[in-house]
Copies of this chain bind each other. A is one copy, B any other.
Amino acid sequence: MYTFFLYNWQVRDQWFEWCQQLDQSELLKQRVGGIGSILHTLLHIVDVEHSWIQAIQGKDDILHDFNDFTTLEDVVSLSHKYREDIKEFFNNHPFEQDHSVKAAWIDDTFTKEEVLQHVIAHEIHHIGQLSIWARELGLNPVSANLIGRGLFSS
């Protein structure tokens, strides 16, 4: 399961790199679908992942005003900061221990396993959206292939 997180982080970092070829107005330009812009779709991915990992640990959700994030560096910086928290979480919470998770923003309760799988699928889904926007800009998207990334030793 953790491998999926490593995959998502590798792909996300490649998208951050990919974004460097675009100017700020292109990153913030409103597009159809997703979270409206490339930058805020990436921010949404970062935010949602961390929020659920906080919820699993019974910690408070940290709310962000998306308008405060106007540059690529703003989002990359939050991603790096949160990744450290999430790595620490995985170091301290073995996957074997499942338990019930309640998040502040939704009434239902979920198992930890369900939440982790949700977070994984959530990022991959939004990255798929970025790939369409990339093509619409006439650019090659980052590869979504999970194989051949050195995540496994064959």
Contacts and interface: CB of A to CB of B under 8 A. Distances in A.
Interface string A74-94: 000000000000000000000
A4 to B, nearest CB: 6
Q: How many copies does the complex hold?
A: 2
Interface in A1-36: 3-4, 7, 32-34
A99 to B, nearest CB: 10
A103 B154 CA distance: 14
Nearest to A108: B148
Contacts of A62: none
A151 B109 CA distance: 13
Contact-size category for A: 35 or more
Interface string A113-154: 111011001101111110111111000010011111001111
Contacts of A135: 32-33
Interface of A: 3-4, 7, 32-34, 100, 106, 108-111, 113-115, 117-118, 121-122, 124-129, 131-136, 141, 144-148, 151-154
